[in-house]
Amino acid sequence: MSSPIISSSAALTALGWNDFFAAELPAGLTPARVSRVDRGAAEVLSAAGHLRADYGARVRREAAADPVALPCVGDWVGLRRLSEGRFELEALLPRRTAFVRGGVGRVSRGGLSGDSQGQVLAANVDVVFVAEPALHATDTADLGRIERLLALAWESGGRPVVLVTKSDLIGEGLDFLLREVATAAPGVDVHPVCSVTGEGVGIVREYLQGTRTAVVLGASGAGKSTLVNALAGADVMETQHVRAGDGRGRHTTVHRELIPLAKGGLIIDTPGIRRIGLYDMGEGVDMVFSDLEELAERCRFGDCGHDSEPGCAVLAAIEDGTLPERRLESWNKLQREAAWMASRSDARLRKELQNKWKIIHKEMRKPGRSRP
Ligand SMILES: Nc1nc2c(ncn2[C@@H]2O[C@H](COP(=O)(O)OP(=O)(O)OP(=O)(O)O)[C@@H](O)[C@H]2O)c(=O)[nH]1
Ligand SMILES: [Zn+2]
């Protein structure tokens, strides 16, 4: 009787289950992790293997009130067994980390704050791989895109790591490129990876040691699915290639999917991010530009605009060649965007509050309603 329980808890641990989540599971429910979501239902991984679960009434109600409460890939949930082989997703457990698009909420220790109207793209991610190809068509790695993705990664609460993919395509120039990428990623590890030869894949795997969960972010064609397949040691994701048979052109990932790896750890493949500006960067921007923040503290004026002010430490660093000018331009741009995002979210929140009050006032004016 005891052995199935032990093996089932080992199976859960392999999926990333731990005391944090165990403490949150309502009594009587079966724990499972969302591997993929569909409209109104989720595919989950449980100690009993792969299951499908429809959303229960409470989950549907809460998600209607706040989209952040909608289950997403990586979430831990509680299932109720309805009948043989039929399950309902009854509870969404608090998230440790989360990627939120377009909301004003922030991840806190106990889960997401309740005021967000954003959409959660992936949850409970420990490591965020930012994949940028060494060569994309004829362009070398886009440092600005790396900075944007890093801001998003920091904001999620996971640990960012930059992977310069397709490292075989650039040859001699690789070392120089890696140094350039490093200037765009202070405090972040940068590794070259080639999924074709397998070079660097072992290093990537080390980040997943134990039962950690990683997500791979990057533009379409960055080589995310190819990397996931290399990590899995099998073709678990379809990759971009022209299908000769039906001539339907290249495949591009459309679903987010959580994939347990045979050698331990889990990885989430995501569709290529096209409009990163629509994501919340917030304080993540400060992390990406921690080197500039540090310099700015040494400017003569506290409100230095790093434009033409005397005693500007940022301009001095550009002058003596220790700071690439591109970094300052990128910092200014992303700060403006983050501020715009924040003001937009606030405006939306204000409008919602106004609407709420309108409804309450209408209720209060209804005839026959007793006044408090
Ligand atoms: N030379 C080289 N080509 C690679 C490497 N990794 C991936 N590719 C190729 O790059 C193309 C795109 O790879 P995918 O893995 O499908 O890219 P993706 O990032 O998943 O793209 P989306 O699904 O559209 O987001 C494919 O033709 C791969 O064969 C690599 O390390 N070296
Ligand atoms: Zn300055």
Tokens coding 83 = 């009948």
CA 240 to ligand 1: nearest atom: 16
What pLDDT is attached to residue 302?
92
**Alpha-helical segments (H) within the chain:** 2-14, 19-22, 57-65, 143-156, 174-183, 201-206, 224-232, 284-288, 290-296, 313-319, 325-365
355/360 Cα distance (integer angstroms)? 9
Highest mean pLDDT among 113-127, 224-238, 246-260: 224-238
Chain-wide mean pLDDT for the chain?
A: 83
Query: Which of 198-212, 235-249, 255-269 has the weakest average pLDDT?
Result: 235-249
Q: Which residue numbers belong to the known binding site for Zn(2+)? A: 299, 304, 306, 312
Query: Which of 102-111, 198-207, 258-267 has the weakest average pLDDT?
Result: 102-111
Tell me what the mean pLDDT of segment 49-65 comes to. Answer: 93
283 close to 255: Cβ distance less than 8 angstroms: no
**Residue nearest ligand 1's atom 14 by CA:** 223
The residue ranges of DSSP E strands in 84-144, in sequence order, are: 86-92, 98-101, 107-108, 111-112, 119-123, 127-133, 135-136, 139-140
165 close to 174: Cβ distance less than 8 angstroms: no
201 CA distance to ligand 1 middle (Å): 14
Ligand 1 near 242 CB (within 6 A): no
Q: Which residue numbers belong to the known binding site for GTP? A: 165-168, 218-226
What are φ and ψ of residue 117, in 5° steps?
-120, 20
CA 254 to ligand 1: nearest atom: 23
Of 208 and 243, more confident: 208
In the structure, what pLDDT confidence band is assigned to residue 19 with cuts at 50, 70 and 90? very high
What are φ and ψ of residue 298, in 5° steps?
-95, 5
354-370: pLDDT as tens digits: 555 555 445 444 554 44
DSSP 240-309: ----TTT--------S-EEEE-TTS-EEEE-PPPS-GGGS--TTHHHHHTHHHHHHHTTSSSTT--SSS-
152-188: pLDDT as tens digits: 889 888 999 999 999 999 988 999 999 999 999 999 9
> Looking at the DSSP assignment, which residues form a beta bridge with residue 41?
38, 54
247-306: pLDDT as tens digits: 444 566 667 899 999 889 999 988 776 554 445 667 788 899 999 999 999 999 999 999
What pLDDT is attached to residue 58?
94
Q: Tell me the pTM.
A: 0.82
346: Cβ contacts below 8 Å, ≥ 6 apart? 104
Residue 203: which of 230, 173, 184 has the closest Cα? 230
